[in-house]
Amino acid sequence: MNRFLWILYILLFVGCSENPKPPHSWTLISGREGTPLYRIKAPNSWNCTHTDSKLLADTMKALCEFNIIEEDQTIRITIHNFPSNSINERIPPMAQIARWKRQFEELNPTHTLITPQSYCGFLGHYFEGTGRIKGNDITMMGWALQIAPEHYSTLSYSTAGFSQSECKQMRSDVTIKVIGSPDMIQKYKRQIKQFAKSFELIEEIPVRS
Amino acid sequence: MIYIKKLSRIYHFLGGIAFALILIASVAFLVITGTILESLTESHLFASHFIYGNPLFIAFLILFFVNILFSSLRRWPFKLHHIPFLITHLGLLMILSGTFIKILYGVQGNMGIVEGGGSSRIFIPNSYTIQIEKRAEADRNKIFSTSLKINRTLFGGIDPHFSSFPTHSPFFNLDVQLLEYAPHSEETLETWVKNNHLIIAGIAPLQLQEINIDSSFTLTPQRKMRLHGFEPIWNLYALRNIGEKEAEKIASENKPAIVFMQNSQKDICFFACTADGVMHKEEFPSKGLKSLFILDQGFAGYGVQTSFLELETPVTAKQQSRPPSKKLEENLPKITLYFTENGVSDKITLTYDRYATGLKWPVLKGKYRVRFQPEYKEIPYHLRLRNARQINYPHSGQAFSYESDILIENEEATLSMNHVYETWDGYRFYLANIFPADESAIKQVQIVVNHDPVKYILTYPGAIILSLGILLLFWWWPYKNKGNKNKGTG
């Protein structure tokens, strides 16, 4: 009886243990000028492809792409940035989200979510939607982010340690877009959100004192 | 001999139980008074100024130290049965020593960090300094700074005789004197409207008008102006206390027109209607500075600008004295300073910037910029704030917890309400506040930083030794034997 109770106790503790978290590592992402600008923490099992530095000047090209591959399904994650010369030139995050919504042939309104986001000096919105794109059921997750106006203002002047071109890159708008099948997105949603929330500039944003 | 006898009496009195009781009663009285004062004023700072920070309270702590030390030394030559007593008193002396060293060399301050930014600087709350900055002549991006500490009086005010001559380059020609002081004030930052007049850079001031709107919105403009030399002639209106819709209608009926309207909350609404009928609207809230631009790094002041037409107005600060609050934490002192350098002088009034996040104002024709703020210290750790968040109860807007993800010298850590981060050398970081709580703007956190340099050397070991001594007092074998002997003879 005692032996049985001990086995039961051990099984209970084993049953309570969480699945071990996949190992992560920081990935450096270059800006449009080819120098490392951002970093993001991604699971080591995700494939990462960086765009050729010669092609980075084209803002239509993603800075990098991550792929989560499982059997014959893939989740595609692309990260873009959009430099600007002045604060009024920036595209509002909601305009980015409106563009993403237009990519759906049909968008399920009950599975559409837009929430404000603020982290690492970026402000913007998170979009999540499920619908049909090119005849396939797709779930899209997207973060449309801008450097906060306070930081944009600081980075509009040559700040100690950064050149004007570096400041321009640092104050770029950013989008993180995720596309995949609804089932696969649901399975990796938590990891993807942690991944996106780890996105930040490598250098700390100087703050006017 | 007489002197030796007197000294001996003083020595025994200082180490005696009577003196200990006097001290305990006095301190108890002070603590009770402090508690009552804090309760009546709802201000811990009030109690701190009058009681806990009072030199008399510090003197009592020193006398406690003397009493405990002398009471131990009076037992000389020490015997075996003195051990628990001596251990107990050693623990007390270590705790008191730790307290004194913490008062002198400890650190307690607040650090404010914005998401995406970092800091290694803490501000000492309720301390006063004048932060002065000057640019290097060779490199205008290099800024020298100095801070002049203003001492507080015994009851929390400012030393009215403050006067300072910074002694180090490049400030040694500068003389700063305190002209006026008020314990509490309110500061308003004025932009488009000053003294009931609309102020636009390059245009004579225009008095705000209250008008009666009937069925016709066609009005004689208060001024006509041409912008940038090539634009059409704009009709300019400066109005107050009419509705936004009415102001917009005036702009469209009199186009091309520019209308500045101040509403009852002192917000400014800007309407510009081009000749083609395209309407541009912008609001400038009375609190906060929208579209702020900085002139020459602040050495030439600040301004606010419309995004359309780029009309500008300078930002000025207006201070008004207010009756001081009993809750000292709420008071914002105001000082008027007189700056003199090489025969040139200037005067400026500043309100205390509690978090040192406000604007620095130019003096002496932009040669310096200044701010009245708390004293700051650099700590040996740099913190970077990634994300701060409020976690709510499920399906509720009520806060369950506050957390912030930070990097401390490249080590990741999460601070929360019940989770303090402590470094190996005793620096402790507590999350005190997050503002705003939602995701509508980047968040700023307030982190309380505390450092007791001898916590693990004196204070905590002293507490352990004290506890050990108390245990031994009850269970030390000489006392047990003494007790048994007494039972036997009884």
Contacts of B443 in chain A (CB under 8 A): 118
Phi first, then psi: what are they for B96, rounded to 5°? -65, -40
Mean pLDDT (whole number) for B44-52: 79
Residue type, B72: S
Burial of B430 (C-beta count, 10 Å sphere; 0-12/13-18/19+): middle
Contacts of A157 in chain B (CB under 8 A): 294, 297
Contacts of B297 in chain A (CB under 8 A): 157
Search chain B and give the residue with CA nearest A201. B116
Contacts of A201 in chain B (CB under 8 A): 116
Of B141, B356, B386, the CB nearest to A120: B386
Model confidence over B319-352: pLDDT tens digits?
Answer: 999 998 888 888 899 999 999 998 999 999 999 9
Residue B37 has pLDDT above 80, yes or no: yes
Tell me what pLDDT residue B478 has. Answer: 61
CA A97 and chain centroid, separation: 14
Of A123, A147, A153, the CB nearest to B441: A123
Residue B479 has pLDDT above 70, yes or no: no
Mean pLDDT (whole number) for B196-212: 90
> In angstroms, what separates the C-alpha of A96 from chain B's closest C-alpha?
18
> In angstroms, what separates the C-alpha of B406 from chain A's closest C-alpha?
10
Q: Do B442 and A197 touch (CB under 8 A)?
A: no
Q: Do B439 and A206 touch (CB under 8 A)?
A: no
How much is the CA Rg of chain B, to the nearest whole Å? 32
Of B117, B387, B441, the CB nearest to A204: B117
> In angstroms, what separates the C-alpha of A115 from chain B's closest C-alpha?
9
Tell me what pLDDT residue B439 has. Answer: 83
Search chain A and give the residue with CA nearest B357. A209
Tell me what pLDDT residue B89 has. Answer: 95
Q: Do B117 and A116 touch (CB under 8 A)?
A: no
Tell me what pLDDT residue A16 has. Answer: 55
Size of interface A-B (CB pairs under 8 A): 63
- Are A114 and A127 in contact by the 8 Å Cβ rule? The answer is yes
List, in sequence order, the alpha helices (H) in B52-133. 55-73, 83-105
> In angstroms, what separates the C-alpha of A46 from chain B's closest C-alpha?
22
Of B116, B292, B440, the CB nearest to A120: B116
**Three-state secondary structure string covering chain A:** CHHHHHHHHHHHHHHHCCCCCCCEEEEEEECCCCCEEEEEEEECCCEEEECCHHHCCCCCCCCEEEEEEECCEEEEEEEEEECCCCHHHCCCHHHHHHHHHHCCCEECHHHCEEEEEEECCEEEEEEEEEEEECCEEEEEEEEEEEECHHHHHHCCCCCCCCCHHHHHHHCCEEEEEEEECHHHHHHHHHHHHHHHHCCEECCCCCCCC
Tell me what pLDDT residue B165 has. Answer: 65
Residue B156 has pLDDT above 80, yes or no: no
Tell me what pLDDT residue B322 has. Answer: 92
- What is the percent of chain B where pLDDT is above 90? 52
Q: Do A118 and B441 touch (CB under 8 A)?
A: yes
Mean pLDDT (whole number) for B83-107: 93
Q: Do B386 and A151 touch (CB under 8 A)?
A: no
**Residue B88, CB-side half-sphere exposure with 13 Å CA sphere:** 15
Is residue A120 within 8 angstroms of chain B, CB to CB?
Answer: yes
Q: A169: which 2 tokens?
A: 């890159």
Q: Do B443 and A116 touch (CB under 8 A)?
A: no
Tell me what pLDDT residue B386 has. Answer: 94
Contacts of A153 in chain B (CB under 8 A): 292, 294
Tell me what pLDDT residue B489 has. Answer: 42
Tell me what pLDDT residue B136 has. Answer: 82
Of B294, B384, B439, the CB nearest to A204: B384
Mean pLDDT (whole number) for B76-105: 92
Of B118, B297, B439, the CB nearest to A204: B118
Tell me what pLDDT residue A11 has. Answer: 73
Mutate: best of A89, A120, A195, partner B, most B CBs <10 A: A120
What is the DSSP-derived secondary structure letter of residue B54?
S
More confident residue, B141 or B59: B59
Mean pLDDT (whole number) for B276-290: 88
- Are B434 and B443 in contact by the 8 Å Cβ rule? The answer is yes
Q: Do B387 and A116 touch (CB under 8 A)?
A: no
Mean pLDDT (whole number) for B392-401: 84
Please report which confidence band the pLDDT of residue B488 belongs to, taking 50, 70 and 90 as the band edges. Answer: very low
Tell me what pLDDT residue B199 has. Answer: 95
Tell me what pLDDT residue B364 has. Answer: 94
Please report which confidence band the pLDDT of residue B216 belongs to, taking 50, 70 and 90 as the band edges. Answer: low
Tell me what pLDDT residue B490 has. Answer: 38
pLDDT in tens, chain A (209 residues): 677 777 777 777 665 555 555 588 999 999 888 889 999 999 999 989 888 777 777 777 889 999 999 888 999 999 999 999 888 889 999 999 999 999 999 998 888 999 999 999 999 999 999 999 999 999 999 999 999 988 888 888 766 578 888 888 999 999 999 999 999 999 999 999 999 999 999 999 987 66
Q: Do B442 and A150 touch (CB under 8 A)?
A: yes
Tell me which residue of B298, B274, B272 sits closest to B200, measured CA to CA.
B272
More confident residue, B164 or B370: B370
Burial of A180 (C-beta count, 10 Å sphere; 0-12/13-18/19+): buried
Q: Which residues of B touch A (CB under 8 A)?
A: 113-119, 121, 141, 292, 294, 297, 307, 356, 384, 386-387, 438-443
- Are B108 and B127 in contact by the 8 Å Cβ rule? The answer is no
Q: Do A153 and B141 touch (CB under 8 A)?
A: no
Mean pLDDT (whole number) for B381-394: 91
Q: Do B307 and A88 touch (CB under 8 A)?
A: yes
Q: Do B115 and A153 touch (CB under 8 A)?
A: no
Residue B23 has pLDDT above 80, yes or no: yes
Which helix (H) or strand (E) segment holds residue B144: the answer is strand B143-150
Q: How high is the mean pLDDT of chain B?
A: 87
> In angstroms, what separates the C-alpha of A10 from chain B's closest C-alpha?
30
Q: Do B115 and A206 touch (CB under 8 A)?
A: no
Mean pLDDT (whole number) for B248-268: 92
Tell me what pLDDT residue A130 has. Answer: 95
Contacts of A207 in chain B (CB under 8 A): 113-114, 117-119
Of A115, A123, A153, the CB nearest to B442: A123
Which helix (H) or strand (E) segment holds residue B210: the answer is none
Contacts of B119 in chain A (CB under 8 A): 207
Residue B179 has pLDDT above 70, yes or no: yes
Q: Which residues contact B122 (CB under 8 A, 6 or more apart)?
A: B107, B109, B110, B111, B376, B377, B379, B449
Mutate: best of A94, A118, A170, A202, partner B, most B CBs <10 A: A118
Tell me what pLDDT residue B293 has. Answer: 82
